[in-house]
Structure 1
């Protein structure tokens, strides 16, 4: 599995420099940070940290961050970005199915667009929950199933033999909520404009998001859930 991400490390961050990528990142981060509510001094584990998009931003907020990933090239890029920014972040090579930490280690857990690739969603969530401290919270973001975006990735996977999304499973919001361990589980779907949207039309995109929220839609391209540990 690691090798499919190894090949993407070199150009992975290019997505965020494009208008659509920057817009998607903005829309996805809103529910993640609303649920995570990070504070300086907290120790947060970033599961499937990739090149460090969330890890670096959390560290800039004064959070103590540990990021894990199975791809060494992704981790190498994350370490360089952190060093260039003068941020002290611990990045470790580790499998989310078998975390190298003791029980009750972290104040909070976050994982964004990574666990779609885990062989067993419920098991990998239980493993993250294990290392979460009591009264801590776990926030998970996934590509939403039955959405414009999941259908786009499924079509790519069908026509591109080396497409990383061949190895992904796209869950609905209800499926994610059902898999989350812990109590007070809540969730939200966002990203209702599609992959062919003009990323420069920010106001139009936000209007689409607001309308979907009013309608209570759950088939967005990005789904987020939070749970709390007793």
Structure 2
């Protein structure tokens, strides 16, 4: 989520605005959800973000990295946790996956349905709590959470649920904001200046993401970084095409971190 907003409104998630800039924070609003407050983002905010120079480049880079770590998806059953307006879910479906997207925001689910329909893709969509997924054990091959767990009040519980619903040998991919980046500094500054959108966001280190995955009984495989440029449109256009170069060397400075882990066959 360096620039992209967290994607939806799962119970236990507080959703931030696109890039944490401009009117995104002001357009966000607090809602009560089963006794918890969450920040919700309108689908229109996602659309505005992706139309910007910064958003168009950043969103594509994040999505490509998460899909790469998810591996070949043809014929796989994929769960998108916090699917938002369905960009990742539809992208996975175009790669031949059988996709289920969950979110707690009816508006986001409606936007995801509209996106899937307009692109001729079949995606199963369901309102659900990330910490209590309504699926039997071992229902999926891959579970993905992209820019959503950063706002979960109990991320450990959500990842345990993701681990529970994948098959032994399956993969879990998490993509969330990195702590050691210019984007994180900018967002913390905005929060100190009174922007409530980012006050509940969690910024991760690679070690913390690996620890989160291990806490669910998963075996971490790798953590990759992305979005090494400053949060301005010209920088995204200039450095976006070569953003993969520092990825091979370090995660330091990456505004977005993506971690992948697999479920050991011995873990039921």
TM-score of the aligned structures, taking structure 2 as reference length: 0.78
Worse overlay, 115-124 or 219-228: 115-124
Contact (CA 8 Å) 1:38, 1:58: kept in 2 or not?
no
CA distance in 2, matches of 1:7, 1:31: 23
CA distance in 2, matches of 1:154, 1:124: 25
Question: Which string of whole-angstrom CA distances, capped at 9 and with x for unpartnered residues, describes residues 89-108 of structure 1?
Answer: 11111111111111111010
- In structure 2, the CA distance between the partners of 1:157 and 1:74, relative to structure 1 (3 Å rule), is farther
Query: 2:147 is matched with which residue?
Result: 113
Q: 1:205 aligns with which of 240, 250, 259?
A: 240
Contact (CA 8 Å) 2:226, 2:244: kept in 1 or not?
yes
How far residue 22 of structure 1 moved from its aligned partner, in angstroms, is 1.4
CA RMSD of aligned residues (A): 2.0
Q: SS of the residue aligned with 2:45? A: coil
Worse overlay, 16-25 or 124-133: 16-25
Question: Which string of whole-angstrom CA distances, capped at 9 and with x for unpartnered residues, describes residues 139-174 of structure 1?
Answer: 1100111211122222233334452x2221111111
CA distance in 2, matches of 1:24, 1:191: 7
5+ residue gaps, structure 2, are: 1-13, 16-30, 32-37
How far residue 214 of structure 1 moved from its aligned partner, in angstroms, is 5.2
5+ residue gaps, structure 1, are: none
CA distance in 2, matches of 1:87, 1:5: 29
CA distance in 1, matches of 2:226, 2:147: 14
Is 2:54 the partner of 1:10?
Answer: no
Contact (CA 8 Å) 2:224, 2:251: kept in 1 or not?
no
Worse overlay, 72-81 or 181-190: 181-190
How far residue 9 of structure 1 moved from its aligned partner, in angstroms, is 2.5
Q: 2:204 aligns with which of 171, 175, 188?
A: 171
Contact (CA 8 Å) 1:188, 1:218: kept in 2 or not?
no
Worse overlay, 8-17 or 108-117: 8-17
Q: SS of the residue aligned with 1:201? A: helix
Q: SS of the residue aligned with 2:179? A: coil
How far residue 228 of structure 1 moved from its aligned partner, in angstroms, is 0.6
Query: 1:25 is matched with which residue?
Result: 59
- In structure 2, the CA distance between the partners of 1:132 and 1:200, relative to structure 1 (3 Å rule), is closer
TM-score of the aligned structures, taking structure 1 as reference length: 0.90
Q: Report how many aligned residue pairs link the two structures.
A: 227
CA distance in 2, matches of 1:83, 1:208: 32
Contact (CA 8 Å) 2:58, 2:240: kept in 1 or not?
no
- In structure 2, the CA distance between the partners of 1:214 and 1:54, relative to structure 1 (3 Å rule), is closer
Is 2:222 the partner of 1:186?
Answer: yes
Q: 2:123 aligns with which of 82, 89, 97?
A: 89
- In structure 2, the CA distance between the partners of 1:60 and 1:115, relative to structure 1 (3 Å rule), is same
- In structure 2, the CA distance between the partners of 1:15 and 1:199, relative to structure 1 (3 Å rule), is farther
CA distance in 2, matches of 1:87, 1:135: 27
